[in-house]
Amino acid sequence: MSLPDFSLSGRRALVTGASGGLGRHFAGVLARAGATVVLAARRAEALADAVEELRAEGLQAHAVAMDVTDEASVAAAFAAAEQVLGAPLDLLVNNAGVAGEGFAHEITVAGWDQVVDTNLKGPWLVSREFVQRLLPQALPGVVIHISSILGQRVAQSVSAYCASKAGLLHLTEAQALEWSRHGIRVNAMAPGYIETDLNREFFQSEPGLRLIKRMTARRLGRAEELDGALLLLASPAGSFINGSVITVDGAHLCSSL
Ligand code: NAD
Long-range contacts made by residues 71-77, C-beta under 8 angstroms, separation at least 24?
Answer: 71/125, 74/125, 74/126, 74/129, 75/129, 77/14, 77/40
Q: What is the pLDDT of residue 145?
A: 99
**pLDDT tens-digit map of 222-244:** 999 999 999 999 999 999 999 99
Q: What is the pLDDT of residue 45?
A: 81
Low-confidence ranges of the chain (pLDDT < 50): none
Q: What is the pLDDT of residue 1?
A: 82
- Domain 12-247 architecture: 3-Layer(aba) Sandwich (3.40)
Q: What is the pLDDT of residue 44?
A: 75
**Does residue 95 line the site of ligand 1, with CB under 6 A?**
yes
Residue 43: what are its φ and ψ, rounded to 5°? -105, 110
**Does residue 19 line the site of ligand 1, with CB under 6 A?**
yes
Q: What is the pLDDT of residue 257?
A: 86
**pLDDT tens-digit map of 133-151:** 999 999 999 999 999 999 9
Atom of ligand 1 nearest to the CA of 20: 9
- Rounded to a whole number of angstroms, the CA Rg of the chain reads 18
**Does residue 98 line the site of ligand 1, with CB under 6 A?**
yes
Structural element, H or E, at residue 39: strand 36-41
Q: What distance in angstroms lies between residue 24's CA and the mean position of ligand 1's atoms?
A: 10
What is the percentage of the chain residues whose pLDDT exceeds 90?
Answer: 96
Q: How is the chain split into domains, by residue range?
A: 12-247
Residues across the chain: 257
Rounded CA separation 68/84 (Å): 20
